[in-house]
Structure 1
Amino acid sequence: MSPLNWGVDSAAIADEELLSCVKNNYGMPDFWGRYLSTVPGASEGLTTNEINFLKSNGIKIMPIYNNFRNTVGKQQGIVAARNAIYRAKRLGIKDGTVLFANIERFFEVDANWLIGWVETMFSSTYRPGYYHDPVQGNFNEAYCQAVAQSELVKNQSILWSAEPQTGVSSKTKIPRFRPQKPDCYATVWAWQYGRNSTECPIDTVLADQKLYNLMY
């Protein structure tokens, strides 16, 4: 097991106020998960000013794409990946960075969508990732079908698990790295172990050093 890095993710913009809240209550994050697009009622989109602010504080960025609701069908996966790549390029996110598709537990998702996302990412300068819940919803089944059908999905996908929930913690009191994995071959390098902090509007996340090296 390589070293772990501790960070947070937020739907809100990471500004001085929010960073101070995180630092004062939990510690200084190594990275920050942020959404590439503004989605009304769900997330504020990442900006170049925010990127500069985080980088000036020595914080890496973990990009997430969530501007989609339909996760069925290969063409839909291709379109989502193309849009994520477009947003990442416009923000100047470096080549080789993992872009995570935000697949919520209540989404219906199929293997074809997952294959479309990976194939499109693989032909770009970015790496394919999935934020997912391997317990609730049907991601587990869809992902294992995709792995069985596609060597690219099996070998290129980087997973960020939302299970189990052990509760938000400070940087100095992290749990042992034990994310729930799908029931098939899976490279799970991130774990959102604490959700919906009562102190700041963030979730707490652990990431393997290998993934940290692929953040922006």
Structure 2
Amino acid sequence: MGSSTNFNPCYVLLPFFLVLAANATHTNFFLPRPRTGYYGSACWNVESIVRSVVESNYLANPANAPGILRMHFHDCFVQGCDASVLLAGPNSERTAIPNLSLRGFNVIEEAKTQLEIACPRTVSCADILALAARDFVNLAGGPWWPVPLGRLDGRVSLASNVILPGPTDSVAVQKLRFAEKNLNTQDLVVLAAGHTIGTAGCVVFRDRFFNYDNTGSPDPTIAPSFVPQMIRSKLNVL
């Protein structure tokens, strides 16, 4: 995944994350569901504290923006937005191959440290990650949206649970995986376009234009007129 931070606000991330908040956070009906203003006076400045940490880390390294947004997606897609991707240890989610390239854990740890000083044992890491993802997107030029809070941190983190859509999956497989999470085709397109806030490295999709399935030819499902356009404008080959 690329680290460019030239974000196009046309990639409307708000619907995607609202769906995640509604469907992928708590599977138990009796657990509290996220809502705005959840912490109230218990931690009235939670959003400003997270925002301050995000701003300083964005200025220090803008690549933190796509890093944290990608981490948030990898967390939510596996077993809900429970911050289980943050847990370290043998065979944890962090050790799964798709997560080995995740970055930005230090940002969440920094925000958690400051919140423990201001509001001890109150704000979950899951909420911090959700807020940080929103704030990084916003700082990178994307939209701002209200983040419902009240997620519970997960205590189970297994590499074997990490089944994420891959760059070589067909559209049919991608749609199926998203449908399993109650996400539709629009959610798939939004995420594919924006979850890294940038451009994917050529290695991720180059074979689709030059050597699809080792055929030596482009992927036949790509519009023929689009192939030379991508080669010229994106791959900078010709």
What TM-score range do you get, normalising by the shorter chain? under 0.3
TM-score of the two chains, using structure 1 as the length reference: 0.26
Q: Which has the higher contact order (CA 8 A, sep 6+)?
A: 2
Which structure has the bigger radius of gyration? 2
TM-score of the two chains, using structure 2 as the length reference: 0.24
